[in-house]
Structure 1
Amino acid sequence: MTSADQVNRLLALVPYLQTHPNAELGATAAVFGVTAEQLLDDLNVLWFCGLPGGMPGDLIEVDMDAVTESGRIRLTNADYLSRPMRFTPDEAMSLVVALRAVRELAGGNLAEGTESALAKLERATGAGTVTPMVAVAVGSKDIRQQLAAAVAAGELVDLDYTGAGLAPSTPRVAPVRLITRDGFGYLQAWSPERAGWRTYRLDRIDAVRPTGQPAGEVGEPPAFGPGWLEQRADAAQVTLRLAPAAAWITEYYPTRAVRTLDAAIEVDLLVADPAWLRSLLLRLGSDVLAVTPPAAADAAREAATEALAAYAG
């Protein structure tokens, strides 16, 4: 939680409390997606905020005794913050673009809400004619609707799926979440056969067949935001040229780019742990045709040489 996050939350918190007098601490914390302890910290900051001057009549007043004793928030002397903060033009533009991406996957009530919010933002910002259009590879609308229905019903489905190596498969999975990232739509699903989470590119799903079988409780899939490697300053890009048989790694590891060649594929990866890359290269073996930069393969080459020497001995 950064100080910028807290400032943004406080600017939205004041008008919320003015329209919800005597708000309950825990319920208010849930509205803002924080813990009650964090909201209490926010309130302790808030009552030192106000108009220039810093005199008692200039500061926002929060009845901290009521918060402590009854869990109720009573706020006064903050009429000058009666409206939520407004988006900057850049923030509004970013939100319009994000909503256009969400629209590609939205269905049912979510689709209606997305269209409504997008229309209001476009009218308010004049963004309808100046923002770039969003194109997301999300497969056919029928398939997305079938998957969304299976998610809502908690039902197992059979997929006709073509992986990165062009090998067809028919996995039976419990669809849980449809998401987008880097211009592609994905399905996160639980695989009963493999007892683990799997991610499928929507544009590679050729058919969805309902089974009528309940999926049961499968929990929440792992986070699919920017990978931790992308957050590390010490991560370096490594390019692997691979035989088609090794194309499966694009389904299991975060990639920056994948290029199809005549008889190979090239994969750009971010690598922060040389030991992880060494293990991957040893696992791929002869399917690794080239590594850029070449020095990135030195550790794997040395380990393979040592293993062969020990085997020969």
Structure 2
Amino acid sequence: MSASQGAKDQVGRLLTLVPYLNARGAVPLQDAARDLGVTPRQLLSDLKVLLMCGLPGGYPDDLIDVDLDALQDPDGDGVIRVSNADYLARPLRLTPTEATAVIVALRALRNGSGPETREVVDRALAKLETAAAEGSEAPRIDPGAEVDADLALLATRLQDAADRQRQVLLTYYVPSRDEESERRVDPRGLVTNSGFTYLDAWCHSAEAPRLFRLDRIHRAEVLEEPIRTEPEAPRDLADGLFARSDETTRVTLLLDPPARWVVEYYPVEDARPRDDGTTEVDLLVADRRWLDRLLLRLAPHASIVRPDDLTGSFTSAAQATLRLYS
């Protein structure tokens, strides 16, 4: 192993070691080595490097302190004790410039790293990039948010697939049909809207671009097959999930109180509560069949206000459904 490769792997081990020690406190060297999958000798070597890590400044009070006497002295008890690292338990605050510098450094480290090191680096990158994407002046990075970290790790893998122009096989949950479907897609990149992150991709099943919400992706397998469509940048969602085009129709619905959940569940252009308890909502609809299915679910608590020509489509769908019962 080259010196460069050895240094990269050691950084990966340290990224695992620090939260491990922070969560467990004092732990025997033998137990820690077993849990981390390294030899006690290697772990001791890593701890000596940890002595030189800490907050910016490099003064003794800024660096992490490891009780090496307990590990190297013949009379020592062989227990790892780390001090002057209380700040590791607090959410880290970075300026955008600092966060960018760390992200760039981690991406450089990731290139050429082994699978185990790459997994650790990917988790760190996922947390940093998620925090930076929030756009706050000083992003908060919570090392303990495992669920969010898993989602952010998925985002990192999907963005990497988009950067490398590789197809992805998705298992995706469709709420409107309450079912999972398998989709082969050409990823274009990640976009955010209303607090959710989406994969913008060309869907081979639909033969059209689609948005896939990350928290509804149950499985994502990055394939080695290159994308089949021309590479494109992800769409801009500044104007909402459904950009206005010739293929979309602005539809106004009148909702009774039992159907008011539509406002919370679907992206609507506008919602206007009325004195009688009903609500008028405006939606952009790209597929009349989707609108018919929605109205069938809401019946009899929703009706089309405008445009009038869509009422006939829903009436026909409702009559066809009733015929199935007779």
Please report the TM-score for the alignment, with normalisation by the length of structure 2. Answer: 0.38
Please report the TM-score for the alignment, with normalisation by the length of structure 1. Answer: 0.40
